[in-house]
């Protein structure tokens, strides 16, 4: 049976783990404080609902407005590893952009650009998942009031869903939780299993294009190739040959 690959991303604290548990219908993911600044680190969860199988790759996005050189290099490395993993498993079918309602910031746009525009080159359908709406009378009302903010941030998505991913609440809140499960499952199916287009794969030249785009978030002077290799091998644990290849991409791109 065909398994769809979903990448779930957002700033730490946006509720990604709770969203996975909501979709799965059981406790599968746990929040890890240690992942707070490990950009592009991911955990994979195999879940099934509605007769379909999904691999959900839960990732951590940017938590600061800009990257330093060391974080920049780690992001390149982890992005490369994630893309290789997904390419080997059939590509990417869907992006879920998780945002806690009321916490809109410039970093939100940086994460959107990192994953949708640069990592997936605007070629993967994306759903905005707005969490923390259990206090709304009608959860969708939040979108009606705040859509203009998304427009100002130039965040364009294929679909959105307003939900609560907070479980074990009483009365009306639990009703909203079950409603949220139906809503997000329905949208996931619509944009994966019901789509005519196939999944996206990186292809040749992806890494160079990604490095060029990601440099827009980098502050500070470019490092020499020797310095880049040192950071990748000693601090990131990258094999020297791979580190030299990545360093060449970074160095050559900085000259353009």
Q: What is the pLDDT of residue 33?
A: 47
Given pLDDT bands bounded at 50, 70 and 90, which one contains residue 217? low
Instruction: Please give the share of the chain, as a percent, with pLDDT higher than 70.
Output: 82
Domains and CATH numbers, the chain: 3-202 (3.40.50.300)
Cα 77 to Cα 5, 6, 187, 208, 215: the distances in Å are: 20, 20, 31, 12, 14
**Residue range 228-240: mean pLDDT, rounded:** 74
**Residue range 39-48: mean pLDDT, rounded:** 84
Given pLDDT bands bounded at 50, 70 and 90, which one contains residue 235? low
Look up the pTM and report it: 0.85
Q: What is the pLDDT of residue 114?
A: 84
Which position has the higher pLDDT, 37 or 99? 99
Give the pLDDT confidence of 150-204 residue by residue, as tens digits. Answer: 888 889 999 999 999 887 767 678 889 999 999 999 999 999 999 888 889 988 8
Cα 170 to Cα 17, 182, 183, 209, 230: the distances in Å are: 21, 18, 20, 49, 54
């Amino acid at each position: 049976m065909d398994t769809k690959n979903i990448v779930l991303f957002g700033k730490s604290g946006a509720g990604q783990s709770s969203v996975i548990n909501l979709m799965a219908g059981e406790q599968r993911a746990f929040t890890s404080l240690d992942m707070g600044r490990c950009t592009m680190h991911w955990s994979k969860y195999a879940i099934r609902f509605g007769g379909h199988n999904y691999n959900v790759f839960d990732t951590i996005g940017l938590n600061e407005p800009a990257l330093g050189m060391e974080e920049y290099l780690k992001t390149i490395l982890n992005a490369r590893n994630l893309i290789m993993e997904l390419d080997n498993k059939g590509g990417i079918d869907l992006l879920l952009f998780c945002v806690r309602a009321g916490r809109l910031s410039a970093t939100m746009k940086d994460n959107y650009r990192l994953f949708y525009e640069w990592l997936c080159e605007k070629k993967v359908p994306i759903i905005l998942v707005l969490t923390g709406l259990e206090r709304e009378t009608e959860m969708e009302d939040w979108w009606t009031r705040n859509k203009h903010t998304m427009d100002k941030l130039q965040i364009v998505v294929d679909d959105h869903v307003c939900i609560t991913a907070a479980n074990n609440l009483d009365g009306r809140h639990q009703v909203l939780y079950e409603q949220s499960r139906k809503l997000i499952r329905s949208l996931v199916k619509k944009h994966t299993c019901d789509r005519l287009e196939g999944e996206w794969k990186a292809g040749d030249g992806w890494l160079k294009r990604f490095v060029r785009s990601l440099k827009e978030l980098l502050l500070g002077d470019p490092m020499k190739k020797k310095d880049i290799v040192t950071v990748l091998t000693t601090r990131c644990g990258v094999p020297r040959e791979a580190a030299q290849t990545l360093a060449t991409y970074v160095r050559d791109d900085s000259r353009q």
